[in-house]
Amino acid sequence: MWQQTSDIVLISDPRVAAIPVRDNGEGLADVRGRLRVDERLADRSGAYAHLRSGLLARLERAERRLPEGFHLLIVEGYRPIDTQRRIFEEYRDGLSAAFPEMSPDEAHIAASRYVSPVDVAPHTAGAAVDLTLCAPDGTEYDMGTQVNDNPEESDGGCYTDATNIPADARAHRKILAAALEPVGLVNYPTEWWHWSFGDRYWALAEGRPYAVYGPHRFA
């Protein structure tokens, strides 16, 4: 049975949804040609490789903070609203099937460890990025799990502060955080690869009165 970690605020927490949004109107910018981009989740429109321009600028600053031999590798940025809804509902329904003792509310909360409910999802705002670290030749560093491994298949190793991963992987996660935190990004603690800026979760984590990025349509 899943257990919620009491010291982690999940994105399904009502305090997140209560944060107002005052979208600053920034457009989406293409990451390709500016940072390294992996194509494992590429979509036909190229939406996956777009982020709000302010977030992309911060990632470029983070790239310059990395030690020699390390680079950011962007896996997914913007995610269309319909795609976000489908991913959440499929994972939630899978949990309900695997753990029939869960109530609907528990399944909703449990699903939010891995994918955001669509009403608060930072990916649909272009405010979140899933990323990892790679060497100059593109070889990915060991981060303990693969990007997008869920809590069940990784035995909780996807949690940023997981202890059941190799020491090298823990060190690599710290290198990633040391580059991203100083430029203003916040991590979602159940997913070491998920970082955001400007969304509701960021606003709650940073004690801001409102989010500056809300749901956005990819044109």
CA 90 to CA 96: how far, in whole Å? 10
Strand runs labelled E in the chain: 28-30, 36-37, 50-52, 71-76, 128-134, 186-187, 194-196
First to last CA, the chain: 41
Percent of the chain with pLDDT over 90: 74
Question: For the chain, how many helices (H) and strands (E)?
Answer: 7, 7
- State the chain's mean pLDDT as an integer: 92
**pTM for this entry:** 0.91
pLDDT band at 2 (very low <50, low <70, confident <90, very high): very low
**C-beta separation of 138 from 132 below 8 A:** no
pLDDT digits (tens, 9 = 90+) for 13-41: 999 999 999 999 999 999 999 999 999 99
User: What's the full length of the chain, in residues?
Assistant: 219
Which own/partner pairs from 93-96 qualify as long-range (CB within 8 Å, at least 24 positions apart)?
95/2
